[in-house]
Amino acid sequence: MSEPGVTEPDQQELAKLRNGKIFVAGHRGMVGSALVRRLDRAGCENLLLRTHSQLDLENQQQVLDFIQSEKPDFVFIAAARVGGIQANNSNPAEFIYSNLMIATNLINAAWKASVQRLLFLGSSCIYPKHAPQPMSEDSLLTGTLEPTNEAYAIAKIAGIKLCESYNRQYGTDFRSLMPTNLYGPNDNFDLKTSHVLPALIRKFHEAKTNDSDTVEVWGSGTPKREFLHVDDLADACLYVSCLPGFVYTENIDQRLSHLNVGTGQDLTIAELAYKIKDTVGYEGNIRFNPSYPDGTPRKLLDVSKLNGLGWKAGIELSAGLRSTYDWYLQNQ
Ligand code: GDP
């Protein structure tokens, strides 16, 4: 039995990765740092990493020069401008511009430099607000999006379509993974810009430390969300990059344009809040504040495709919350 959060990828394909040069864009973020840990563990030693000040991914010429001179064999796009409901809702221009530029610059440069394989990461918010639940890959572009994160979602949909179009026209091997809501080490715990899970860890921890009698949770508490530990996502990234025969086909039924990755289970924000309250050991009250937006009512991913290809999430939410809270205590 392998340990939770580790699924062995195809060994022949993994050998190619081990022998190649791998560029992880966004290696300092929550996703990129988890990916670096996973690649490291898999014996991939030739990692190409650049900080934001060394390489501006929104600058087309810089990205092109960098990819053409370094000639990586594999590219993982873990870089993105991300944020919670409030940040997305208040800064749509920044979210659409940055994410479009990052995806366009890297995907086009990867094609020009004959990169063997690229993995693009999106998000479950690409699916319509009222898509049937759980949301399968086929729901893409079947309805209108949730308005609070429409700008971000459009940029991520463009990323999928860029990969698909380059595969179709140029025969590249550019793959896309759409993760559900993520959490884990190196998450953003800033209350104005973060997602719900790190925000609640911080709010409950501070309330416990300051002896406050109430913690405010935004919205009605009724929306449902699915949470995937970032180490599980990193494992899925390696697994999917090592899937043999993931090629563009004209047959839409066989085409693996993009794959969902999640746990297949969700819970209400209220249930999440009580779980985090227990994890932190806070004994006061919770007050829901409906003057904040709820966002989309539910976004549970249908993960049957990826499960059918042999990958399943391994980290239980309770264990993931515990280890993330421990990380927060050590790094806050
Ligand atoms: P979303 O999944 O794109 O909607 O992004 P979030 O993770 O930011 O929000 C998920 C849900 O949690 C929404 O219904 C929020 O209103 C709710 N929520 C409750 N308390 C908080 C909080 O303190 N911060 C954030 N970001 N969301 C919260």
pLDDT in tens, 17-58: 999 999 999 999 999 999 999 999 999 999 999 999 999 999
| DSSP secondary structure letter of residue 120 | E
Which atom of ligand 1 is the closest one to the Cα of 225?
Answer: 2
Q: How far apart are CA 92 and CA 148, in angstroms?
A: 9
Q: How far apart are CA 121 and CA 260, in angstroms?
A: 10
Question: Catalytic site residue 152?
Answer: yes
Average per-residue pLDDT for the chain: 95
Separation of CA 22 and ligand 1 centre (Å): 34
For the stretch 4-26, pLDDT in tens is 678 999 999 999 999 999 999 99
How far apart, in Å, are the Cα atoms of 287 and each of 208, 224, 270?
15, 18, 10
Under the banding of pLDDT at 50, 70 and 90, the label for residue 1 is: very low
Length of the chain: 332
The mean pLDDT value for 314-320 works out to 98
Separation of CA 84 and ligand 1 centre (Å): 6
Task: Identify the CA nearest to 178 among candidates 61, 41, 305, 47.
Answer: 305
* Surface-to-core class of residue 138, CB atoms within 10 Å of its CB (0-12 exposed, 13-18 middle, 19+ buried): middle
pTM of the model: 0.96
For ligand 1, atom 22, name the residue with the nearest CA.
196
For the stretch 63-120, pLDDT in tens is 999 999 999 999 999 999 999 999 999 999 999 999 999 999 999 999 999 999 999 9
The mean pLDDT value for 281-304 works out to 96
**Whether pLDDT at 250 is above 80:** no
Given the residues 97, 127, 152, 183, select the one marked as catalytic.
152
The mean pLDDT value for 247-257 works out to 61
